[in-house]
Structure 1
Amino acid sequence: MSADSSSSCVCAVAPPSSEPRLPPVKLQAGTAEFRATARAMFVGGYCTFAMLYGAQPLMPMFAQDFALSPAASSGVVSLATGSLALSLIPAGLLADRLGRRPLMNAALALGALLMLLSALADSFQHLLWLRAAFGVALAGLPAVAMTYLSEEVDAKSLGHSMGLYIAGNALGGMSGRFIASLLADHLGWRWALLTLALLGVAGAWLFWRNLPPSRHFQPRRHDLGRMWREAKALFRDAGLPWLFVSAFLLSGCFVSLYNYLGFRLLAAPFNMSQSLLGLVFSLYIVGVWSSAWVGKLSDRLGRRNVLWLMVLAMLLGLALTLSDHIVALVAGIALFTFGFFAGHSVASSWVGLRARQGRALASAIYLSAYYLGSSLVGSLSGLMWGRGGWQGVAAVLAASLTAMLAISLGLRRLQPLPQA
């Protein structure tokens, strides 16, 4: 009897301790949970870029209304991306304690609120302060998105999911710019910003409804010693430091091109209207397709064999933008956009695969470099616009992309890590 009782006791106690809480298999393409995750991350990326870069085509209007130089008007983009860059690592550390999903939900909601306040700004200085605060608040989503996907999605499906997230970025950037251009031409820039804010509110609700809770997240205490060890390990990796530099150069070049494209197309010999300029920004749709397609292609062929080709496409596209013929110029913008979003998709998913430890920190460093490049190279290009017009901007971008091409060719020799 005692033996039977003991056995029965063991049976009664065993199930709670043996019941797994975290499924061992990560999300794979084709499953319902993968599709829900993809929807949420697509919406999150869409709203992030719509609100962040929707002010970009309005720069000529800010310059005119507030009597600013092109470089000064770029502050609506540079301050937002710069403050976002500086906030990504703190946001990543906070996500290690609070979880990925809660931080992303809060970031998108606060970003929409600050975007609403930006539409009511009574001066350009007030607008700049709100844009800086917007960057800090929004940082929680891009700081955690790649980490969430790397933790939750199977390695064979990671390129696909990362490509869809970045496709959302591309479509959001395109839609935000197009909507802002169209509304600003007829109703003014305040209505344009207000519409983007309302879009952010809707997106925050959809993101909250669709994103599944993390299944592979383990909360961690803040440990500066551990963080320092992780950072040293990341920078000792043969590829990660170069991928961080790649983020800086790719983003800096892309944002610079679109920052000053409006000034060129609104002036002679093109003399476009603000609405027509919005149609040119719709070339972002090329990035929606390229990021998803090339993401899957890199899963098959290898990231080292794809990245350098995308950089080469950007260089060829840049050369075409020097033409005064609108067809050649638009073709160049499309090729440049294709190469950027595809290259960013490849590089960002590569970071998630190589960072075996400190994955959240690796993603935060990558994105800090990404948005810092957007801010710093974007500002430098504005100064070159003042000195040499579009040719001055193109010279900065050509030098940056040449360095990026050398890096991507070097990364071709990088030995892959064994599968985890």
Structure 2
Amino acid sequence: MRLAVVLSGVALYSALYAAVPLLPLLERLFGAPPGAAGPGMGLPLLLLVLLSPLVPRLPLASGMALGGGLLLVGLGGILGALSPSLLLWTLFRLLQGMGAALVPALAIALVPVLYPQRALEMAGVYMAGNVLGGGLGRVLAGLLAEGVGVRGALLLLSLPALLLGLLVLHAPSRLPPLGPPRYDPRGWPLYLVGGILLFLNLFLANLLPYRLLEMGFGPGQVGLVYLAYLFGIPGSALSGLLARRLGAVATFRLAFLLALLGMGLLLLPPPRLVVGFALMMAALFTAQGLASGAAGRKGPGVSGAYVASFYLGGTLAGLLYPLFLHSFPLAVGLGLALGLLAFLLAPVR
């Protein structure tokens, strides 16, 4: 059951992000105009922001809540794949968002309880699983859509979450209770850093295609640049080991120094720009592993608030990046300022 908690992020994010490369195909499938599938991506993240702080207060055992969340993510994905209209698909995406809100806050808090002697290392492994799941979901969705169609791709990528949820629900008592949640307002530096982490990730990643196309990159070359996300896997997985050797604060600050360097390289022509993007991703996910681990060790209340602030940062990135489409250097400047703020806060003691 401990392994199920660690793998929950792989199953969750592969199902949740499978729709990303399929958005134009979904709109074509349902005969909808371009952009009409956008709410199906934004609203689930909004539910994560709104519901994550409330999850620890639910009168459910941790196993019931975690298993139920995974079950809802899988079931929502399957029902969405079978939907006859875009409206129904969007509604079932809301069901996925509700289920997703139940998982990360509890999983982050469960990891240090299940692995008390290796809390730092396993927090990094859990975060690496999240990166792997998000990457696999995006890549496999495109590949599967060519073979089994859009509906088949979404259905198949929802099955792991459904099956893992059923497994956890089969023996919910095997996961330990987490106790009453504590909401600590003194954790605001941790919450702020959580928001900065996802904001920097999505804000600059959303703007990068426009920059690359201006430089003469083709669409296929732009897609290959996003293989840089794979560097987040070793970045997350090694965060705990580095923290054990160098100290959590020193590792966090080293990660953000590298992130700042990577952002600076984004202003240079390729291949240095591509190297900078890969370096930034590896560093951000290293810091993310440390921050989520720190939130988990403070209990389910703090971890729920951290998850909410994390996805709030992603929501703000989606709203703000269009304002910087014609001013990439200014966007990088904003990123550097936020990165420096996170470096100074270093809330991972």
TM class by shorter chain equals 0.7 to 0.9
The corresponding residue for 2:189 is 242
Q: Find the partner of 2:286 among 342, 358, 366.
A: 342
1:91 maps to a residue whose letter is V
2:24 counterpart of 1:56: no
Contact kept, 8 Å, 2:259 with 2:339, in 1: the verdict is no
State the AA in 2 paired with 1:87.
L
**Are 2:31 and 1:92 equivalent residues in the alignment?**
no
1:369 counterpart = 2:316: no
1:291 corresponds in structure 2 to 236
What amino acid is aligned across from residue 334 of structure 2 in structure 1?
Answer: A
CA contact (8 A) 1:177 1:278 kept: no
CA distance in 1, matches of 2:95, 2:258: 35
Out of 361-370 and 85-94, give the one that drifted further: 85-94
Q: Any residues of structure 2 matched to 1:246-257 within 5 Å, and which?
A: 246-257=193-204
Mapped contact 1:74–1:379 kept (Cα < 8 A):
no
Which of 382, 403, 408 is equivalent to 2:338? 403
Aligned CA-pair RMSD: 3.2
> What aligned pairs does 1:1-400 form with structure 2 within 5 A after superposition?
37=2, 39-59=3-23, 61=25, 66-68=32-34, 74-94=38-58, 97-154=59-116, 156-184=117-145, 188-205=149-166, 213-215=174-176, 217-218=178-179, 220=180, 230-231=182-183, 234-235=184-185, 237=186, 240-259=187-206, 269-273=216-220, 280-322=225-267, 325=270, 327-353=271-297, 355=298, 359-381=299-321, 383-384=322-323, 387-388=325-326, 391-392=327-328, 395-396=330-331, 398-400=333-335
Q: Is the CA contact 1:46–1:172 (under 8 Å) kept in the aligned structure 2?
A: yes
Cα 1:398–1:49 change in 2 (3 A) is farther
How far apart in 2 are the matches of 1:104 and 1:313? 35
Instruction: Quote the offset at 1:122 in angstroms.
Output: 4.1
* Conservation of the 8 A alpha-carbon contact between 1:63 and 1:73: yes
1:103–1:161 distance in 2 versus 1, CA, 3 Å: same
Question: Alpha carbons of 1:184 and 1:108: their partners in 2 closer, same or farther (altered >3 Å)?
Answer: same
Query: What is the deviation of 1:370?
Result: 0.7
Q: Distance in 2 between matches of 1:257 and 1:62?
A: 26
Give 1:188 deviation, angstroms: 4.8
In structure 2, distance between residues paired with 1:211 and 1:400: 42
TM-score (norm: length of structure 2): 0.85
What is the CA-CA distance between 1:337 and the residue it aligns to? 1.6
Q: Is the 8 A contact 2:6 2:107 kept in 1?
A: no
Equivalent pair of 1:57/1:278 in contact (CA under 8 Å): no
Q: Distance in 2 between matches of 1:193 and 1:341?
A: 26
Q: Flag the 1:405–1:56 CA change in 2: closer, same or farther, 3 A.
A: farther
Provide Cα deviations, 1:76-119, integer angstroms capped at 9, x if missing partner.
Answer: 3322111112111222111xx32211110111011001011222
Alignment TM-score, normalising by the size of structure 1: 0.72
Q: Could you tell me how far 1:161 is from its partner in structure 2? A: 1.1
Deviates more, 1:145-154 or 1:340-349: 145-154
State the secondary structure of the residue aligned to 2:195: helix
Partner amino acid, structure 2, of 1:181: G
Shift of 1:213: 1.9
Q: Deviations over 1:301-338 (max 9, x none)?
A: 2221121222232333334445563x444323321221
Q: 2:311, 2:6 → 1: CA distance? A: 19
Q: CA deviation at 1:183?
A: 3.0
Identity in percent: 28
